[in-house]
Amino acid sequence: MPKIIIAVDGYSSCGKSTTAKLVAARMGYTYIDTGAMYRAVSLYFVQNQIPINHPKAVRDALDHIQIAFQINSGTGRNETCLNGLNVEEEIRKMYIANFVSEVSALPQVRHAMVAQQQRMGRKRGVVMDGRDIGTRVFPDSELKVFMTADTFIRAQRRQIELLGKGEVVGLDEILENIRKRDHIDTTRAESPLRKAEDAVELDTSYMTIDEQVEWVIHLADQRIAELHRKGHFKLKEK
């Protein structure tokens, strides 16, 4: 069965990663969480006190950063490793969320991550979630989904997620972080978050995760059938 690339972009806390992960599992595809990669870089910068306004220091640091994903045999979850160490839990904390937008706006960081993401998806059969997958990483992806949701609902979801991990954070602090991240993500010079012209928009404010997953899989099936009809896969195999 020929495989496609599904790009899932959008604002933070719209359910992108949960949806992308479940879609990938159902389709037998690989899930790649590109936000986790920017979070892992941010963690390295914090741990090693890298001055992010010094291009040479950033470049040297990037030479020492290796990011990989490994399946946790207990939970079956794909977890992020930084230089061989599992950092999945650490990169989800609030101090990283407060720093990651600045780090991910740095052109050197973006170039390094985009190159790695393109290598990871070159065989297709991936669901990749992020901010610039449909516009920059894989502008030729066969299906592009752009997720949005009401800001207040996003903050509530984020609060519940953090609570589940034992981190108690007030709604005001989360709202401020979300607004700040939205602003930096959409206004940065390098690959700002925007909906690709050919992306399909999904407002998840009042949808359940199951509904979101079904919606994406339905679109993916339609897209694959359409590409079959047009002989796209035969052309690619040649």
Binding site for ligand DC (CB under 6 A): 12, 34-35, 38-39, 100-101, 104, 130-132, 181, 185
- For ligand DC, give the closer residue by CB, 130 or 224: 130
How near is the Cβ of 19 to ligand DC at its closest, in Å? Answer: 12
Gap between the Cα atoms of 68 and 81, Å rounded: 5
Radius of gyration over alpha carbons of the chain, in Å? 18
* Minimum separation from the CB atom of position 205 to ligand DC (A): 18
Pairing label, strands 5-10, 143-148: parallel
Residue number with CB closer to ligand DC (109 or 207): 109
CB of 36 to ligand DC, least distance (A): 6
Of 22 and 227, CB closest to ligand DC: 22
Q: How far is the CB of 210 from ligand DC (least distance, A)?
A: 21
Looking at the Cβ atoms of 35 and 121, the one nearer to ligand DC is: 35
| Phi, psi (deg, nearest 5) at residue 42 | -60, -40
Q: How far apart are CA 29 and CA 127, in angstroms?
A: 7
| Strand-pair category, 5-10 with 85-86 | unpaired
Nearer to ligand DC, 101 or 212 (CB): 101
Report, in Å, the least distance between residue 100 CB and ligand DC.
4
